[in-house]
Amino acid sequence: MYDKSVAELSQGLREGQFSSLEVTRSFLDRIAALDGNLNSFISVDEGAALRAAEDADRRLAAGDATALTGIPVAHKDIFCTEGLRTSCGSRMLDNFIPPYDATVIHRFKRAGAVMLGKTNMDEFAMGSSNETSYYGPARNPWDTQRVPGGSSGGSAAAVAGRLTPAATGTDTGGSIRQPAALCGITGLKPTYGRVSRLGMIAFASSLDQGGPMARSALDCALLLNTMAGHDPQDSTSSTVPAEDYSEGLDRPLDGLRIGLPSQYFNEGLDTATGERVRAALTELQSQGATLVEVSLPNSALSIPAYYIIAPAEASTNLSRFDGVRYGYRCQDPVDLQDLYSRTRAEGFGEEVKRRILVGTYALSAGYYDAYYKKAQQVRRLIKQDFMDCFEAVDVIAGPTTIGPAFALGAKIDNPIAMYLEDVYTLAVNLAGLPALSLPAGFVGGLPVGLQLIGRHFDESRLLHVAHRFQQATDWHLRAPDTIGSEAAR
């Protein structure tokens, strides 16, 4: 059961091959058996999941089902869930139970999906290894001594470990794509504004975007169908109509032009990973796509620009966590200043504090023009680079990461090395573009990802290309052995 895709489960449920209750139970059992190793969940709500499964079975019986009715889904613990603790991976919100659902959660509930629980993540989505989580790191199912990536590491590990058929993630600088690549799953960061941010705890408002994480492009398309669409309560949500993203995925790739930026195949890229990515591109070429050399000349500026803009926005987004209304509050504050400083010193972890300090500095009087304003100018240049490329090509492709998953602890004390993890993913967020990572093969038994970047609101094309690739390859079907064998008992 747990090895089935969302599409297969959806069909089986509607044909009555099995019930949602059975499906849900099988995944809950697997979580109970394996998550002690993976630590991919922060909260699991069995009772609510089973009740939702029963409701879904009634809808299925009544013929009132959507593609996701009865499908178990895990949500990154950054999406607020009514009545269920939403920690954002932080001590600050360890006791926070939202009285509302995020729009994304609301949409999944409306579709009849079953929420298994909330997945582990880097604290406030700040990290590329899941190691900044207050709840300890999620582990990579392919090698539990290695990181699953981050910040949506729990979601990626849970999907890869077959603890859930699908999950949600958020991506501010690569937080869906990088863990998807390191865990060997498919993850899509939609165009900025495609998926509502309401109820999604903000890290960097102008960069954050929620998206689907699943085993295949088709499954991601089914999830995106539920997630995408205008939300009048999110002013940055787009009014461009959402599409049926599962439609027309089987079309041939004839005429497709794929741009390969020279800057994404440089000396920083692990050789074996580069080879896997090139092989994947050759496969697409064999299906009728044309490969075109392109250039993103300002690409190297994306890391400095990102590490000004994202911390600047984060520094003020996180001001609300002050111990006054909800969340962590220090013991016996002597005055207001003490309440603020001890609550925040004790409630936030090191990486979060580092970024708040960087962001506060970047916005300070006298530094604003040199840092924040300059970074915004660079951001426009980076976006323009992409726009220029898209004059000549339909999709831009390259590696998602510089190499496969690294060992736990390898980079946690070296923020700069950690920040460089996202060298191929950050620019996409700065430009607001959609991008997808899909399994492209293995290096030393560890998965690596191919990244596809599209024009604004061209999610359909990315899913189409990824789906065609997955029709011809089986990288996305491979499951980690150790996890699989343990569960098969």
Partner 1 sequence: MQLEPVIGLEVHLQLATRSKIFSGSATRFGAEPNTQASAVDLAMPGMLPVLNGYAVACAVKFGLGIGAQISRRSVFDRKNYFYPDLPKGYQISQFDAPIVGRGNFEISMQDGSTRSIGITRAHLEEDAGKSLHEDFHGQTGIDLNRAGTPLLEIVSEPDIRNAAEAVAYLRALHSLVTYLGISDGNMAEGSMRCDINISLRPMGNATLGTRTEIKNVNSFRFVEKAIHHEVERQADIIEGGGNVVQETRLYDADRDETRSMRSKEVANDYRYFPEPDLLPVVIDEAYIEAIRGELPELPTEKRHRFREQYGLSNYDANVLSDTRALGDYFETVVATCQSPKISANWVQVELLRQLNRDDTAIEHCPVSAGQLGGLILRILDNTISGKIAKQVFEAMWKGQGSADEIIEQRGLKQVSDGDQLETMVDAVIAANATQVAQFIVANEDKRKKLIGFFVGQVMKLSKGQANPQIVNTLLAQKLK
- Residues assigned a catalytic role: 76, 151, 175
Minimum distance from residue 377 beta carbon to partner 1 (Å) = 13
Query: Please, are residues 173 and 426 in contact by the beta-carbon 8 Å criterion?
Result: yes
Instruction: Name the minimum Å distance from CB 437 to partner 1.
Output: 25
Structure tokens that stand for 144 in this block: 């539990």
Residue 236 interacting with partner 1 (CB under 8 A):
yes
- Which letter, b or e, does each residue of 110-139 get, where b requires 16 or more Cβ atoms within 10 Å of its Cβ? ebbbbbbbbbbbbbbbbbbbbbbbbbebbb
Q: Judging by DSSP bridges, how do beta strands 210-214 and 114-119 pair with one another?
A: unpaired
Instruction: Give me the long-range contacts of 410-415 (CB less than 8 A, separation at least 24).
Output: 410/147, 411/128, 411/129, 412/129, 412/131, 412/132, 415/351, 415/354
Binding mask 364-383 for partner 1 (x = CB under 8 A): xx--x---x-----------
* Interaction of residue 205 with partner 1, rule CB under 8 A: yes
Give least dist CB 82 to partner 1, A: 11
Given the complex with partner 1, which of 336 and 407 has the nearer CB atom?
A: 336
In the list 156, 201, 224, 463, the residue contacting partner 1 (rule: CB under 8 A) is 201
Residues 53-112 that bind partner 1 (CB under 8 A): 79-80, 86, 88, 93, 96, 98-100, 102
Q: Find the binder of partner 1 among 18, 340, 419, 442 (CB under 8 A).
A: 340
- Choosing from 15, 47, 62, 235, the residue that interacts with partner 1 (CB under 8 A) is 235
CA 189 to chain centre: 7
Please check whether residue 386 is in contact with residue 453, taking contact to mean a CB–CB distance below 8 angstroms: yes
Instruction: Restricting to residues 319-338, name those near partner 1 by CB under 8 A.
Output: 319-320, 322, 324-326, 336
Smallest separation, CB 100 to partner 1 (Å): 6
Q: Could you tell me the smallest distance in angstroms from the CB atom of residue 97 to partner 1?
A: 11
Distance from C-alpha of 70 to C-alpha of 157, rounded to nearest angstrom = 22
Query: Contacts with partner 1: how many residues (CB under 8 A)?
Result: 42
Comparison of 204 and 427: residue with beta carbon closer to partner 1: 204
| H/E segment holding residue 257 | strand 257-261
The residue written with tokens 């195949």 in the block is 265
Residue among 55 and 322 whose Cβ is closer to partner 1: 322
Give the separation between CA 174 and CA 127, rounded to whole angstroms.
10
- Non-local (6+) Cβ contacts of 46 within 8 A are 28
- Would you count residue 115 as binding partner 1 (CB under 8 A)? no
Shortest Å, Cβ 74 to partner 1: 18
The Cβ of residue 1 has, within 10 Å, a number of other Cβ atoms equal to 16
CA 255 centroid distance within chain: 30
Query: Residues interacting with partner 1, by CB under 8 A?
Result: 79-80, 86, 88, 93, 96, 98-100, 102, 197-202, 204-206, 232-236, 312-313, 315-316, 319-320, 322, 324-326, 336, 340, 360, 363-365, 368, 372
